Amino acid sequence: MASSETALAAGQRARGLAPFLRSQMRNIAPFLTLIFLSGFFALASPSFATLDNLGNILTQVSVTGIIAVGLTFVILCAEIDLSIASIANVTGIAVAYFTLQDSYVNIANIPLPGAVAILLSILLCALLGLVNALGLTVIGIPSFIMTLAMMQIAAGVSALLVRGQIAYKVPSLITTLGSGSIGGIPWLVIVAAIMLLGGHLVLTYTRFGRYVYMVGGNREAAEYSGLNVKLILGAVMVISAVCSGIGGMLGVAHFGSAQQNEFDTYLLDSIAAVVVGGTSLFGGRGGIGNTIVGLFVLGVLNNGLDHVNIDSFLKILIRGLILLAALVINVYAQRLREKAAE
Amino acid sequence: MREDRSPILELQGITKSFGGVEALRGVDFALHAGEIHGLVGENGAGKSTLMKIIAGVHTEFSGRFLIDGQETHFRSARDAHAAGIAMVHQELSVAPDLTVAENVFLGNQPTNALGLVQWRRMAREAGEQLARLGLDVDPMSRLGDLSIGLQQLIEIARVLFSGARIVILDEPTSALSPPEVERLFATLRRLREEGTAIVFISHFIEDILRVSDTVTVFRNGRKVAETASAATNKGALIEAMIGRGGEALEHSYSDDLMLPTPSNSPVVLKVDQLSLARSLKDVSFEARAGEVLGIYGFMGCGQQELSRILFGKLKPDAGTLAVEGTPKTFASTAAARRAGVALVPESRRDMLFHQEPVYKNISISILDRISSLLLKPAQERDIAKRQVEQLQIRPPVVGLDLGMLSGGNQQKVALAKWLTYPPKLLVLCEPTRGMDVGAKNDVINIVRDLRAKGLAIIVLSTEPETVLSLADRILVLKRGALVREFRNEPVSKDRLLEAA
């Protein structure tokens, strides 16, 4: 049996390299993009392809990476979370709000021990994620709209907490993880790597991870298989919010301040990282591996454009065009795969 | 009266095949102005194919097609529409979020010189037209707020009053209540007086006999009878539909089949007074261990809804379910699964993951039994291999994407996912639809094995053969209500059709 299986599996592949490549396009295209961009910038600027700069890129994508872990779960389920940046922002502000600030900071905050502050902040983002989850599953609001509302709600809570001021102090653990380093490697990069690895392990090796892929692959079939689809969708919304919250807290330490609208660019960056990496917007295909490639594509692009002396206003447009190209590939890859399956 | 007029539509020797399979073989058909022409035949007999040729949906066929004596060839449904032919399909095609008036005038709204919609005129005219159907509906209300029966009547109204000379109605009465059927028939008769030609397709033979002037019977792609309605009866039509003398290769189930004495084994499922909107009315029955309960009925009789309620996908408006004596209200399909209920729906697409390998499809419903946190892929594959062997799924490769398997083998995978830890109650919807004879027999044998193991099995089907080949006891569901139970007595295809 085993040998006939390998033979058949080989046969499936041997039907031609072209169909195989086509079915793998969502994994190959982002990788080629990454190689192309790296090659281009390495040739265009001598300061790009250095070890120092690699460190820069890693640090630059870390906060996005932490947020993108949770978002990958959500997109694999064919849902979306637009509240990630706002939740990151409010969690970062909350952890500062619960920390004793210097006397010149004019915020009516509630200083608490560091561990309590961190715990409360994580509780806050989990709670906001739970509201997303309930809106999506119990009430039945599409995630696009539900998280759009949450984006505003979280921004509102942020505004009420800081009232236009800026806070600087966060618990020492957060300061270390966000801006410290060990043996020359920033803790932020290590945390991001650990979270990405954790996300990958959960998605690949646990029952819950399988459920996420199955719900994303065919929600109707998942329900007819007796899975609790609402519970799984709710869980991914909470996971997304908690990842965002952690990204937010470390981000605040990394930037050195907590203030309103600090994370606005992270919404687009995180979605772009997941989608550029090749995770299907229709759910069920992709994973953390794709997200990592996507993060590097974005990181290399953002960093490389700084090295090649380009109009900084043009950068925004270029990023938009790259995202559009990735979306086109994403949708085509799905179609090609469906054709290959027929 | 109509004999002295030539037909407005005439088809001669129509043959149509789909990929080598002949759906129509040399069919002649004539339709006269001022005539209601009933069409009957089993699923797949060719009625719908013929109507789709008339409505310009199928454009490739051989044979002559004449309108008013002129040879014609439609290239699209638009051509047919321009020639005054309109069809109401079995599935509702309305815009639920638009008003009743907009639906009546869909694509044909009255506009003024500037191209703006004349709302007042549209509402007034829609109201007048609906009044002719005996419908007292506010034309400005939202269509989706009305009952399904009313929505269907409004769709029919749109077609009837579109000025078409030839109107084709495919199963128009399946969602209608008796008074609504009466109103529809009254309108059809009025249109007949005005000279419209109407084709009326229905499984409800009583309806056909009541309203039509002529009845044509189809069987296996041929026209086997055409008579005046007054000169025939239900029994004769059913006989013509299913034929006698073993024409088909398979068991034709035209002879009486003796159902066994009902078993006294424990009751696994007890359903009491189940009701759901317009789909189900006071449905009560029991299913016992080691028994296959067949539920037969026409398309739209409420079977689908019933199966979904049993599996926790739909919530009934009233009534109770009890599994092994414990009352249950399933909050989700997961709750139903945990209570020991399994469902294989009629559509494989709804049940399987086509882009995932076979073993993941088989293990999905039992993952919580083999792993609490971490997956055990080796064990999953072993379980899948056992099922693949037992059910003779081809090719026997559990790593292959499900989409690469044939339909019959996919159906077996859909069964296999429930069999490693057998449920208490297995609900099968159309378990053999669209399968070849060999695969059908395989499925029948699997179901009999499961019965022998003591499962309670419910088979729901719109095909009498499926129910007859599997069931120990048969319930007939008609317009949402159970109307007949066959137990410990002879049963045959015509007896089933008669009851439905």
Q: Do B403 and A342 touch (CB under 8 A)?
A: yes
Count of C-beta atoms within a 10 Å radius of residue B82: 11
pLDDT band at residue B19 using 50, 70 and 90 as cut-offs? low
Q: Do A223 and B313 touch (CB under 8 A)?
A: yes
Span B432-464, pLDDT tens digits: 876 766 677 788 888 998 999 999 999 999 888
Query: What is the C-alpha to C-alpha distance for residues A26 and A336, in angstroms, rounded to an integer?
Result: 10
Mean pLDDT along residues B33-47: 86
A201 in contact with B at a CB cutoff of 8 Å?
no
A11 is a domain residue = no
pLDDT at B500: 79
Q: How many domains does chain A fold into?
A: 1
DSSP string for residues in A107-134: -------HHHHHHHHHHHHHHHHHHHHH
pLDDT at A8: 46
Q: Are B271 and B304 in contact (CB under 8 A)?
A: no
Burial class (CB in 10 A: 0-12, 13-18, 19+), B15: middle
Secondary-structure class of domain B2-242 per CATH:
alpha beta
CA distance A340 to chain B (A): 9
pLDDT at A338: 64
pLDDT at A80: 96
Check residue B263 and report its DSSP letter: P
Chain B interface test: which of A224, A335, A336 (most B C-beta within 10 Å): A224
Q: Do A8 and B395 touch (CB under 8 A)?
A: yes
Residue scoring higher pLDDT (B416 or A326): B416
CA distance B410 to chain A (A): 13
Residue B160, pLDDT above cutoff 90: no
Q: CA distances (Å), A30 to each of A19, A25, A329, A336, in order?
A: 18, 9, 9, 16
Measured over the CA atoms of residue A146, residue A147, residue A148 and residue A150, the dihedral's sign is: positive
Which of A166-180, B149-163, B379-393 has the weakest average pLDDT? B149-163
Residue B299, pLDDT above cutoff 80: no
| Structure-token match 């699923």, residue found | B43
Q: Which residues of A touch B404 (CB under 8 A)?
A: 12, 341
As a three-state string, the secondary structure of A241-283 is HHHHHHHHHHHHHHHCCECCCCCHHHHHHHHHHHHHCCCCCCC
Mean pLDDT along residues B150-179: 82
Check residue B117 and report its DSSP letter: B
As a three-state string, the secondary structure of B351-407 is CCCCCCEHHHHHHHHHHHHHCCCECCHHHHHHHHHHHHHHCCCCCCCCCCEHHHCCH
Which of A301-310, B74-83, B89-98, B458-467 has the weakest average pLDDT? B89-98
What percentage of residues in chain B have a pLDDT greater than 90? 30
Residue type, A169: K
ipTM > 0.90 for the complex = no
pLDDT at B20: 65
Closest residue, chain B, to A208 (C-alpha): B373
Angle separating helix axes A229-255 and A172-179, nearest 10 degrees: 80
3-state class (DSSP) for residue A341: helix
Q: Are B102 and B137 in contact (CB under 8 A)?
A: no
pLDDT band at residue B114 using 50, 70 and 90 as cut-offs? confident
Top-confidence range, A197-201, B301-305, B368-372, B462-466: A197-201
Residue type, B13: G
A83 is a domain residue = yes
Which stretches of chain A drop beneath a pLDDT of 70?
1-16, 19, 23, 337-342
| Structure-token match 């070849």, residue found | B436
pLDDT at A337: 66
Whole domain around residue A102: which residue ranges?
Answer: 27-341
Query: What is the C-alpha to C-alpha distance for residues A284 and B375, in angstroms, rounded to an integer?
Result: 17
Task: Report the greatest alpha carbon distance in chain A.
Answer: 75
Count of C-beta atoms within a 10 Å radius of residue A307: 16
pLDDT at B441: 79
3-state class (DSSP) for residue A52: helix
Q: Do B356 and A217 touch (CB under 8 A)?
A: yes
Residue B489, pLDDT above cutoff 70: yes
CA distance A277 to chain B (A): 20
Query: What is the C-alpha to C-alpha distance for residues B239 and A248, in angstroms, rounded to an integer?
Result: 75
Check residue A319 and report its DSSP letter: H
Mean pLDDT along residues B70-88: 88
B368 in contact with A at a CB cutoff of 8 Å?
yes
Name which of B253, B293, B303 is nearest B495 in CA terms.
B253
pLDDT at A252: 95
pLDDT band at residue B157 using 50, 70 and 90 as cut-offs? confident
What percentage of residues in chain B have a pLDDT greater than 70? 94
pLDDT at A340: 58
Q: Which residues, 6+ apart, have CB-to-CB distance to B294 below 8 Å? A: B458, B459, B460, B461, B466, B467, B468, B470, B471, B472, B473, B474, B475
Q: Which pair of structure tokens corresponds to residue A264?
A: 């606005």
Listed by start position, the domains of chain B span: 2-242, 257-499
Residue A146's CATH number: 1.10.3470
Residue scoring higher pLDDT (B402 or B108): B402
Mean pLDDT of chain B: 85
Query: What is the C-alpha to C-alpha distance for residues B451 and B457, in angstroms, rounded to an integer?
Result: 7
Top-confidence range, A25-34, A310-319, B20-29, B271-280: B271-280
Query: Which residue in B332, B333, B355 is closest to A217 by CB distance?
Result: B355
Write down the CATH number for the domain with range B257-499.
3.40.50.300
Q: Are B453 and B461 in contact (CB under 8 A)?
A: no
pLDDT at B253: 62
pLDDT at A2: 42
Closest residue, chain B, to A2 (C-alpha): B397
Query: What is the C-alpha to C-alpha distance for residues A100 and A92, in angstroms, rounded to an integer?
Result: 14
Span B179-234, pLDDT tens digits: 788 888 888 898 889 889 999 998 888 889 999 999 999 988 889 989 999 888 88
Q: What share of chain A is helix, strand, coil (3-state, %, to 5)?
A: 75, 0, 20
3-state class (DSSP) for residue B213: coil
Q: CA distances (Å), A11 to each of A3, A5, A16, A28, A337, in order?
A: 12, 9, 9, 21, 18
Query: What is the C-alpha to C-alpha distance for residues A295 and A274, in angstroms, rounded to an integer?
Result: 8
Q: Which residues, 6+ apart, have CB-to-CB distance to A123 below 8 Å? A: none
A20 is a domain residue = no
Mean pLDDT along residues B403-411: 81
Query: What is the C-alpha to C-alpha distance for residues B101 and B86, in angstroms, rounded to an integer?
Result: 19
Residue B45, pLDDT above cutoff 50: yes
CA distance B355 to chain A (A): 7
